[in-house]
Amino acid sequence: MGQPLSPTEISTALAALPGWSVDHDALAKSFAFGSFREAMSFMGRVAFEAEELNHHPEWTNVYNRVAIRLSTHEAGGKITANDVELATRIQRISWVG
């Protein structure tokens, strides 16, 4: 699943991922939608992207909020290029920022 990225590589990736940050060796972002239905729709879209990459997020949902954390278990729970790719796809389909 890849090697952990260096701090410089992570910083470069974050520059293209608005609102994402590093939280305990994971890429993280929270999304706030207009309703529970919108949050569920978003999660469904993300699920298809994650399945295509065979790389699945750690996430939670409470009503209209979705919090996502991305790290790679096979790389010791560190951030890899796979996490950046999934975050990029998530960012591309998000309509709330």
Residue 2 belongs to a domain = no
Residue 32 belongs to a domain = yes
Question: Which of 43-81 are b and which e, b meaning 16 or more Cβ less than 10 Å from the residue's Cβ?
Answer: bebbeebbeeeebebebebeebebbbbbbbeebeebbbb
Cβ(72)–Cβ(79) below 8 Å? yes
**Using one digit for the tens of pLDDT, what is the confidence trace for 39-67?**
999 999 999 999 999 999 999 999 999 99
* Distance between CA atoms of residues 91 and 95, nearest Å: 8
Q: Which helix (H) or strand (E) holds 55?
A: none
Residue 56 belongs to a domain = yes
Residue 47's CATH number = 3.30.1360.20
Is 74 among the catalytic positions? yes
Q: In what side-by-side order are the strands of the sheet with 58-62?
A: 21-22, 27-32, 65-70, 58-62
Our count of domains for the chain comes to: 1
Catalytic one of 51, 52, 58, 85? 51
Residue 59 belongs to a domain = yes
Q: Could you tell me the residue range of the domain that residue 46 belongs to?
A: 7-93
Residue 87 belongs to a domain = yes
Is 24 among the catalytic positions? no
Ranges of residues in the chain whose predicted pLDDT is under 50: none
